[in-house]
Amino acid sequence: MAYTLDPMDIKQIIRLHLDGLSNRRIGTVLGISRNTINRYIQLLKATDKPLSELVELDNGVLQEHFPSLTTIENERYESLMVFFDQMRQTRHHPGFTFQHHYQEYQASHEKAYSYTQFMEHYRRKYPKEKGSMKLDHAPGHEVFIDFAGKKLHIVDKSTGEQIEVEVFVSILPNSQYTYVEACYSQKREDLIKCMGNALKFYGGVPLAIVCDNLKSAVQRASKYEAQINRTLKEFALHHDCVINPTRTYSPQDKALVENAVNLAYQRIYYPLREMTFFSLEDLNRTIRLLLDRYNDLLFQRKESSRKELFQSIERSCLKPLPTTPYQLKEYRRAKVQKMGYIYFSPDKNYYSVPYRFIGKRTQIHYTSSVVEIYYNHERIAIHGRSKARGSYITQKDHLSSAHQAYSQWSPDYFERLADKHGQYVTSFIKGLLADQQYPEVNYKRAMGIIQLAKSYGSERLDKACQRALEYQTHSYQVVRNMLKNGLEDDQFDLFSQSDQTHIPEHENIRGASSYQ
């Protein structure tokens, strides 16, 4: 293979030449072509420095004197270098591959190099590559998460339609213990669910979750200070960890999870290629089986598997999971109405708040089971969520004293009040409320009867109720009129009709016969 001589070889040529050896002899000793030795000797003698000084130069400085010396055929090599210059301009274009450009080169050149030589000459021409840093990952320090670029799919049984699903991947970098799960989308609710399942799979929580700058996690990406969305912050707070987004356009920040995605393609995607799944649950069940096999595989250069490293080193370094699972929160704003309730639009019902906040604008935080109401970042009410539309969910201590009393109105409540004023008052109230299938209609009448004791005393009220019961009436007006006119002690028939009219007989009254 053609090559440029190493600076050490050049120094050996100089030393042997200074020792008086011929070019042929030097070529035999060093195993280099005599013609190559001749050309190097000519170049060495053409320099303005003595050979004795060239021997003392550093290798890098000496190599600068022979940057392009090669045994390659010049015309063939030069045409390749020209092609490299053109190809280099598209190096960072999405989808760039050396194989594609090699095919173009091979089609346009008669004496084309092989692909191996093509790549070798390219690396020699552009030897400087961007360096990467070897990162040391402490056990239990962080977990990397990402979504795979390629999707899987499930089939709708009824229509036969293929539904694409996303694939979530997470990895603990110290042990490289990996978790994979399929979900319907990369939206916030699916991301939170997958993250919660991943931490449950690991059985603990690391100090930080390192995520990509996807929209469901980051409100505004930044190389130095990304803005995390509120839901993800609350998830981290619930699990006592932090969110650490990677720098924009810096995939090397999470190279391990990128590699885990590629390995998922090999260990999970490929075995699934000929399988058909009709539900996400069935797909994830099979993924879990393949994932367990993958985590049990031994590393090529280690005498242990990912699972063994996790159990022996990293598991004990994770913080414990919270006692309750995190529930995804949503947010709404609402003004407290005059009756002391806020209107909750998602379910179209009402929740009470302390009456002192009437007229205030509040923020509602709600999950699938809980509704919390905040004012100025202070929680003022919490309720279990009700899906019954149009319902009023009330906590009695939220109501004012007058409203609390009103809310206590019931048949038992009025009977207890009536007991204080006598047995006939109690019997009257029982009969009043029993007259209606919907007793609330008579609550105001019952309260009116009891309030008469304030004006006329309990004893008179009890007698008036006794008289009313004798005449089988439960009218508030009858009892009130008796008390007003002092008739509760008179023994007369309230409903009797006398045959004698109060109008005296006289000549202007004609009688009923006049109208026949």
Domain of 248, CATH number, reads: 3.30.420.10
Least confident piece of the model among 274-288, 328-342, 478-492: 478-492
Residue 443 pLDDT exceeds 60: yes
DSSP string, 122-161: HHHHS------------TTSEEEEEE-SS-EEEE-TTT--
pLDDT of residue 2: 45
pLDDT of residue 374: 92
Of 216 and 332, the structure prediction assigns the larger pLDDT to 332
Least confident piece of the model among 3-17, 114-128, 144-158: 3-17
Q: Is 423 within 8 Å of 431 (Cβ atoms)?
A: no
Strand order across the beta sheet in which 341-344 lies: 341-344, 349-352, 392-393
Give dist(CA 310, CA 312) in Å, integer: 6
354, part of any domain: yes
Instruction: Give per-residue pLDDT as tens, 171-186.
Output: 888 888 889 999 988 8
Check residue 203 and give left, alpha or beta (phi > 0: left; psi -120 to 50: alpha).
Answer: left
136, part of any domain: no
Indicate whether 299 and 157 sit together in one domain. Answer: yes
DSSP string, 34-97: HHHHHHHHHHHHHSSS-HHHHHHS-HHHHHHTSSS--SS-HHHHHHHHHHHHHHHTTTTSTT--
Q: Which two tokens mark 358?
A: 């009437």
The residues near 458 (Cβ < 8 Å, ≥ 6 apart) are: 420, 421, 422, 425
User: Three-class SS of residue 185?
Assistant: coil
pLDDT of residue 282: 92
Indicate whether 22 and 99 sit together in one domain. Answer: no
Dihedral pair phi/psi, residue 90, rounded to 5°: -105, 15
Q: Which helix (H) or strand (E) holds 443?
A: helix 443-456
User: Three-class SS of residue 390?
Assistant: coil
79, part of any domain: yes
pLDDT of residue 441: 60
Confidence of residue 495 (pLDDT cuts 50, 70, 90): low
pLDDT of residue 64: 64
Confidence of residue 283 (pLDDT cuts 50, 70, 90): very high
69, part of any domain: no
The residues near 406 (Cβ < 8 Å, ≥ 6 apart) are: none
Highest mean pLDDT among 203-207, 257-261, 469-473, 486-490: 203-207
Give dist(CA 135, CA 310) in Å, integer: 18
Residue 339 pLDDT exceeds 60: yes
Nearest by Cα to 126 from 63, 72, 177, 84: 84
The residue range of the domain holding 372 is 330-400
372, part of any domain: yes
Of 432 and 2, the structure prediction assigns the larger pLDDT to 432
Q: Is 179 within 8 Å of 268 (Cβ atoms)?
A: no
Highest mean pLDDT among 7-11, 17-21, 393-397, 425-429: 425-429
Average of per-residue pLDDT across 417-431 = 84
Least confident piece of the model among 263-272, 358-367, 436-445, 477-486: 436-445
Instruction: Give per-residue pLDDT as tens, 27-84.
Output: 777 777 778 888 777 777 777 777 777 777 776 666 666 654 444 456 788 888 888 8
Confidence of residue 220 (pLDDT cuts 50, 70, 90): low
Indicate whether 219 and 346 sit together in one domain. Answer: no
Query: What is the rounded average pLDDT for all residues in the chain?
Result: 78
Confirm whether pTM is higher than 0.85: no
Indicate whether 455 and 373 sit together in one domain. Answer: no
Q: Examine the fold and report which residue of 284, 317, 350 is the final residue of a domain before the chain moves on.
A: 317
Percent of the chain with pLDDT over 90: 6
Highest mean pLDDT among 131-135, 166-170, 474-478: 166-170
Q: Which two tokens mark 442?
A: 């008579």
Percent of the chain with pLDDT over 70: 78
Supply the DSSP symbol for 310: I
The angle that helices 115-125 and 74-88 make with each other, rounded to 10 degrees, is 70
Q: Is 458 within 8 Å of 421 (Cβ atoms)?
A: yes
Give dist(CA 180, CA 260) in Å, integer: 10
Confidence of residue 312 (pLDDT cuts 50, 70, 90): confident
Q: Which two tokens mark 410?
A: 């019931």
Residue 132 pLDDT exceeds 80: no
Instruction: Give per-residue pLDDT as tens, 466-478.
Output: 888 887 888 888 8
Cα 452 to chain centroid, rounded: 62
Residue type at position 190:
D
Instruction: Give per-residue pLDDT as tens, 350-392.
Output: 898 887 888 889 988 888 788 999 998 888 888 988 888 888 8
Residue 218 pLDDT exceeds 70: no
Confidence of residue 285 (pLDDT cuts 50, 70, 90): very high
Indicate whether 83 and 224 sit together in one domain. Answer: no
494, part of any domain: no
Indicate whether 395 and 421 sit together in one domain. Answer: no
pLDDT of residue 128: 60
497, part of any domain: no
Indicate whether 280 and 362 sit together in one domain. Answer: no
Residue 288 pLDDT exceeds 70: yes
Least confident piece of the model among 269-278, 298-307, 439-448, 456-465: 439-448
Indicate whether 161 and 227 sit together in one domain. Answer: yes
Q: Is 182 within 8 Å of 115 (Cβ atoms)?
A: no
Total domains present in the chain:
5
Of 69 and 459, the structure prediction assigns the larger pLDDT to 459
Indicate whether 156 and 295 sit together in one domain. Answer: yes
pLDDT of residue 1: 39
Indicate whether 312 and 340 sit together in one domain. Answer: no
Indicate whether 351 and 381 sit together in one domain. Answer: yes
Of 233 and 204, the structure prediction assigns the larger pLDDT to 204
Residue 402 pLDDT exceeds 70: no
Q: Which two tokens mark 419?
A: 């007991």
Indicate whether 449 and 416 sit together in one domain. Answer: yes
The residues near 252 (Cβ < 8 Å, ≥ 6 apart) are: 132
514, part of any domain: no
